[in-house]
Structure 1
Amino acid sequence: MLAYAELSEIEQRVWDGFTAGDPVDLRPDGAQLEDPRDGVAWGAERTVRAEALHAMLTAGGSGALRLTGARITGRLDLADTAVPHAVNLHGCHFDRPVVLRGAQLRSTGLVGCWLPGLDGWLLRVDGNLFFENSVIDGRLTLTRAHITGELRLSGVQLTARELVGVDPEDPAAQPAGDVWALWAGGLVMEGGLFGRHGLRVRGGLRLVGAQLGGGLFLEGAELHNPCGDALSGEDLSTGTMVLADGFRAHGPIRLPGATVRSRLSLHDATLDGGRRGDRSDRGGAEVALDAQRLRAGELRLTTATTPVGAVDLQEAQVTVLHDHARSWPADTRLDGFTYTSIHPESDANSLAHRLAWLAALPGYAPQPYEQLATWYRKIGHDDDARRVLLARQRRRRRTLALPGRIWGRLLDATVGYGYRPWQAGVWLLVLTAIGTTLFGTGPRPVPSGQGTPFNPLVYTLDLLVPIGGFGQRSGWYWTDYRQGVGYLLIAAGWVLTTAAVAGVTRALNRT
């Protein structure tokens, strides 16, 4: 450890300020808008060795490091070190990545600084950790870190080390494999993670298994990962997640198994799953939002534009769903998705829109239709519920073999699969009118003797009703074409009766 006498004049000034808890500003007079990326050119009058900072922070006694405008040379390595002092560095330039593996810190701020990366694996912070308005050209690692306060990334420009110096517009220059700008799997936060107001990320945010007690807030943030996921939050747990108000993601947002106890908002967000083959999901389709098995109190999927790529909500559960006509891309996956209520915007508040929504689903699955029908019944729209279930049967019919499709069309035309039993009555009325007209004149009694008085209406009903009889069918007959019509009416009566029984049975068991 360096002794005080071994410090440079500038470092002694910083030490004196640290001991007194006073701020030390090494910027020239009037230099208020410096870019810390230019710190490599700063001279000795602004240079502080990392080992000098290490000596201050590990010294006993009281003190607080409040330093502005310094170039910090060497590696600041506080691995497995307990630092009892508050640290606030503003507008500083770090020549080498900062190492905080296993360190124990009080509230720490690296605000408006330039860093070539930071390793905070197993870091413990009793308070807040601020990086606001900093430029981090390298990975920010917070794997299994524990922060009792807030993590602030608002205004940060964060670039994965593999993408530093790479032209984002040149596809051939992009690296292969996963590229992560924030590596924070298992991060535990008692406060919130804030990336508002200009957070720009090149590379992915990895928050697998993170516990964010105070929420995740990325309003207006831009995530661009040409090599993989923009945000990976499998099994993440948080109170609130806000990816809204101008939020933009180029690369998939993956939240399988995530739990959002209150609200997950994608209001006015732009989701682009990208077009790189290594990000493709099944069938080569890109995924804009993968929220399989999501659990959320409220899902606000009112995006600014239709997501580019699939939206996958299979087996997800939400209490309230907010959507509009632009929420759902052509590749939408809803099998097993359940919701208690839907609060649509005006352009999605119609049965026709909902039926088109389900008709666009790839393949046939009964559950999305049954879920929507359940919601309609819950709000008292029983007729709409029946139309949804009728659409389900029509969609199912397309998956059947030819005999099944023929029988299905017959059930549809006669009784609407049991959801429109009145159609059978319409057919009976039509056939009764036709029979009454055709059988109005010219019958002959059977040879055994004169039959009961002929009535064309009763005779037609006797032909159509397959069970019992009115004494007309056996007492009169024709020898012309009407004999064949009679046989057709008998057959039609059996078909209508069978279809009606099948339809009523289906109606009684449709749920």
Structure 2
Amino acid sequence: MEITGDEIRRRMVEFESLDPGGLVVEGARIVGQLDLSDVVAKRPLVLRDCTTELPVVLDRAQFALLDLSRLVAPMVRANRLTVDHDLRLSGARLTSEEEYALHARGIRVGGSLYLDEDFNATGTVELNGARIGAVLYCRGAQLRGNGGAGAALYAVDLHVGSAVFLSNGFSAVGTGRYAAVRIRGAKIDGQLILRDGRFSSSDTALDLRHVQVGTELLMPFDGIEGQVQLEGLTYQGLPRDATVDEWLSLLSTRTPNYSTQPWVQLADAHAAAGNERDVRRIRVAQQRDLRRRGQLSRWGRTWHFVRGVTVGHGYRPALALLWLAGVLALSVGIVTLSGAVRCSAVEQVGYALNVATPLVKVDAGRCTVAPSSAGQFVLASTWLLQILAWAFATLFVAGFTGLVRRNA
């Protein structure tokens, strides 16, 4: 069966003469270009299982419903297309020799957009600025970028009223300077589901910068091949399908650079769930990443290292107590082994604790320090150890009170 693109346009322009069910064409070969740009038709258009050798043009057109399921075409251009209900491209095969396979910037879909059931596109699927009232279904879709940008799915500032499914065998392969899936600035009122999806690029696989997910984020990491950009990503509740250890590894090693916000978002999610042990692990890992990749001066990096090994940046204040115990043990060792402190062994221990302990004093008897080089060494060492003991005691108190304030 054959039908011309001009005949389809004529019928849709004269939509008032159509049945309320609209125009339905199945299994046809469309001869000539199907150009429906600027057509305003208050009827459904169904072109199911159709083929064409030329791009389909739908710019600024308006339909009650549009079904292009299993369409075979080089590309579909649909900038600012408006569909009152659903837009279906399930199982369609778009093979473009240019940059875009589906160029649908600023489309408006009142219902759901279906790019599922093995929808296949060679060339970028662009949905920049799209507004989808219900769900974006990309389950099982196979997308591959083409041309300079090379993104497989390019949907900056997308707004979806319910959920986005990039799952169930979804595959996106990036081939250029943009991420394989780039949905920076998207707002998703429901879930973002990446379960059983595959995202691949030699550089950035996923660009989720400033994406707002209204409810849950389901994002396992085993299908992500490449870096992930997460600055500004927000979600509700705990992210699912990945462990805390996997998140720590991802944020530390698979993001382009250090950014505070993804760490804070993850820590806040676990704090809200009452997982305080995981919160401390996340905060400590964040500080390690800051020291390794953050914009710190040389002295700032040194002080950051000291804070980390002494009190775990305030999240492990007990470390300072261990350092304090080490200082006291070293003081006892110097005093008892030097031979320069004259008193009994028990009194020597008391003397060592007296000179090194910041807060607690014990009876040291009548110990005297011999006026010798060994005695001078003992005096100098214990002064230094007392300074260190005070420092570790202060760090412990500061870290402990700070931790109490954070948990209050």
Q: Which TM-score applies when normalising by structure 1?
A: 0.66
Structure 2 residue 393 is the aligned partner of structure 1 residue 497: no
Task: Check conservation: 2:195, 2:218, Cα contact below 8 A.
Answer: yes
Cα distance, 1:132 vs. partner?
1.4
Amino acid at match of 1:230: A
Cα distance, 1:260 vs. partner?
1.0
Structure 2 residue 50 is the aligned partner of structure 1 residue 122: no
Cα distance, 1:315 vs. partner?
0.6
Structure 2 residue 306 is the aligned partner of structure 1 residue 378: no
Partner Cα separation in structure 1 for residue 115 and residue 76 of structure 2: 14
Residue 342 of structure 1 aligns to a residue whose secondary structure is: coil
Partner Cα separation in structure 2 for residue 244 and residue 51 of structure 1: 38
Partner Cα separation in structure 2 for residue 409 and residue 101 of structure 1: 62
Partner Cα separation in structure 2 for residue 51 and residue 469 of structure 1: 99
Amino acid at match of 2:284: L
Aligned partner of 2:206 among 284, 289, 314: 289
Distance 1:318 1:497, change over 3 A: same
Cα distance, 1:257 vs. partner?
0.9
Match of 1:250 in 2: 173
Distance 1:378 1:504, change over 3 A: farther
Larger Rg: 1
Residue 98 of structure 1 aligns to a residue whose secondary structure is: coil
Cα distance, 1:237 vs. partner?
0.8
Cα distance, 1:469 vs. partner?
6.8
Structure 2 residue 379 is the aligned partner of structure 1 residue 486: yes
Aligned partner of 1:190 among 100, 103, 110: 110
Task: Check conservation: 1:220, 1:244, Cα contact below 8 A.
Answer: yes
Match of 2:142 in 1: 222
Partner Cα separation in structure 2 for residue 499 and residue 431 of structure 1: 9
Q: How many residues in Structure 1 have an aligned counterpart in Structure 2?
A: 386
Amino acid at match of 1:343: R
> What is the aligned-residue identity percentage?
25
Aligned partner of 2:133 among 193, 197, 213: 213
Task: Check conservation: 1:421, 1:500, Cα contact below 8 A.
Answer: no
Cα distance, 1:120 vs. partner?
1.6
Greater CA deviation, 400-409 or 89-98? 400-409
Cα distance, 1:143 vs. partner?
1.6
Distance 1:493 1:107, change over 3 A: same
Cα distance, 1:240 vs. partner?
1.5
Task: Check conservation: 2:351, 2:367, Cα contact below 8 A.
Answer: no
Cα distance, 1:123 vs. partner?
0.9
Amino acid at match of 1:311: V
Amino acid at match of 2:59: W
Distance 1:499 1:368, change over 3 A: farther
Task: Check conservation: 1:155, 1:195, Cα contact below 8 A.
Answer: yes
Structure 2 residue 24 is the aligned partner of structure 1 residue 132: no
Distance 1:503 1:358, change over 3 A: farther
Task: Check conservation: 1:411, 1:499, Cα contact below 8 A.
Answer: no
Task: Check conservation: 2:232, 2:262, Cα contact below 8 A.
Answer: no
Cα distance, 1:421 vs. partner?
3.2
Residue 389 of structure 2 aligns to a residue whose secondary structure is: helix
What is the correspondence of 1:329-344 to structure 2 with a 5 Å cutoff? 340-344=237-241
Aligned partner of 1:464 among 329, 346, 356: 356
Cα distance, 1:298 vs. partner?
2.1
Residue 224 of structure 2 aligns to a residue whose secondary structure is: coil
Distance 1:362 1:491, change over 3 A: farther
Partner Cα separation in structure 2 for residue 508 and residue 493 of structure 1: 23
Task: Check conservation: 1:416, 1:503, Cα contact below 8 A.
Answer: no
Residue 317 of structure 1 aligns to a residue whose secondary structure is: coil
Task: Provide, for residues 343-379 of structure 1, a one-character-per-residue CA deviation record: whole Å limited to 9, x for no partner.
Answer: 345xx35xx5444334324544444444444344434
Match of 1:78 in 2: none
Q: Which has the higher contact order (CA 8 A, sep 6+)?
A: 2
Partner Cα separation in structure 2 for residue 344 and residue 53 of structure 1: 47
Residue 110 of structure 1 aligns to a residue whose secondary structure is: strand
Match of 1:264 in 2: 192
Consecutive unaligned residues of structure 1, counting only runs of 5 or more, are 1-26, 28-38, 40-47, 65-83, 164-174, 276-285, 320-339, 446-453
Residue 356 of structure 1 aligns to a residue whose secondary structure is: helix
Structure 2 residue 254 is the aligned partner of structure 1 residue 317: no
Match of 1:359 in 2: 252
Task: Provide, for residues 374-398 of structure 1, a one-character-per-residue CA deviation record: whole Å limited to 9, x for no partner.
Answer: 3444343434433433344444445
Q: Which TM-score applies when normalising by structure 2?
A: 0.81
Superposed CA RMSD in Å reads 3.4
Amino acid at match of 2:58: G
Task: Check conservation: 1:435, 1:456, Cα contact below 8 A.
Answer: no
Distance 1:402 1:467, change over 3 A: farther
Partner Cα separation in structure 1 for residue 47 and residue 240 of structure 2: 42
Match of 1:298 in 2: 216
Cα distance, 1:405 vs. partner?
5.0
Cα distance, 1:247 vs. partner?
1.1
Partner Cα separation in structure 2 for residue 264 and residue 425 of structure 1: 45
Aligned partner of 1:425 among 305, 318, 321: 321
Residue 308 of structure 1 aligns to a residue whose secondary structure is: strand
Task: Provide, for residues 223-251 of structure 1, a one-character-per-residue CA deviation record: whole Å limited to 9, x for no partner.
Answer: 12221221111111112111111111122
